[in-house]
Amino acid sequence: MKNKYQVAARAVLVALALTAAFAANTTTAIAQAPPGSLWYNGDFNGVGFHANGTGTSDPSSSVFDDFIVTNGAVWHLTGLFSDNLLSTVVTGALWQIRTDCSPGNGCTLVASGSTQTPTVTPTGRSGFGYNEFIVEVTGLNFILTSGTYWLNVEPIGNGTGHSLNTTTSGANCVGTPCGNDGNSFFIPGVGFSPDDFSMGVIGTVVPEPATWALLGGGLGALLIAALRRRSV
């Protein structure tokens, strides 16, 4: 009987060891859209990438992909991000938002900037021998009205390695388009690409004038009711 219990205990220990080994070698992917994302083109689909960075072993390259602020909406943007396979040390980031883009022109620059302190967070995904990271620019403060825009968030490396913006098919996307319109382009490059790339914007939707009017009317009604109760 003692031997039977010993065999059972050993079997349990072996099962626990196998479970621990499996857990240690399994990477859990996360849904990438940071809190407050108004547009996120979707998670890495494992299919492809394009160089997106400066200060790496590759020539400088910028990936732009489009997003839409819906008709009548106003967005207050506080952050921007892109998802990149990285083998470089990120020392900063450049960013741009453009509009009025079409094949053969350089678009109209809406806003741009840089930071030496981007937030770099692993996504739990990997591909082509590299781990994927969110490179996020925070602390922004500007307004976009309704329209179509193109975003680039470009990591700055430490002079070596690679920075590769990952492609997406729209999984876990937020907003419009949803990783499905093939309307990206590269600088340097010619024309538009049929690929979609993982990136996004963070912020809040500014209430429309009609919404403010409704809120004001509601507050006014509450004030009148309170005054009437006092006078009774």
Would you identify the CATH topology of the domain 37-206?
A: Jelly Rolls (2.60.120)
Query: Whole-angstrom Cα distance, residue 111 to residue 95?
Result: 8
pLDDT at 53: 98
| Two tokens, residue 166 | 């990952």
CA–CA distance, 110 with 204 (Å, rounded to integer)? 18
Q: Which residue has the higher pLDDT, 64 or 227?
A: 64
Average pLDDT over residues 171-177: 97
Q: DSSP per residue over 37-61, as a string?
A: EEEE---EEEEEEEE-BBSSSSPPB
Residue 225 pLDDT greater than 70, yes or no: no
Contacts of 65 (CB under 8 A, 6+ apart): 41, 150, 151, 183, 184, 196, 197, 199
Average pLDDT over residues 102-117: 90
User: Which pTM does this prediction carry?
Assistant: 0.79
More confident residue, 31 or 20: 31
Please tell me the distance from the alpha carbon of residue 108 to that of residue 228, in angstroms, as a whole number.
Answer: 55
How is the chain split into domains, by residue range? Answer: 37-206
Q: Exposed (0-12), middle (13-18) or buried (19+): which is 209, by Cβ within 10 Å? A: exposed
Q: Is the bond preceding residue 207 a cis peptide, omega within 30 degrees?
A: no
H or E segment to which residue 219 belongs: helix 209-231
Cα gap 146→77, rounded to integer Å: 13
13, pLDDT greater than 60: no
Is the pLDDT at 24 greater than 80, yes or no? no
Residues 166 and 67: their CA atoms lie apart, in Å, by 17
- Mean pLDDT value across residues 176-194: 94
> How far is 197 from 132, CA to CA, in rounded Å?
13
Q: Which two tokens stand for residue 180?
A: 């499905």
Query: What DSSP element (H or E) covers 24?
Result: helix 2-24
State how far the Cα of 10 lies from the Cα of 1, in Å rounded to an integer.
14
Task: Identify the band that residue 22 occupies on the pLDDT scale cut at 50, 70 and 90.
Answer: very low
Q: According to the model, what pLDDT value does residue 95 have?
A: 98
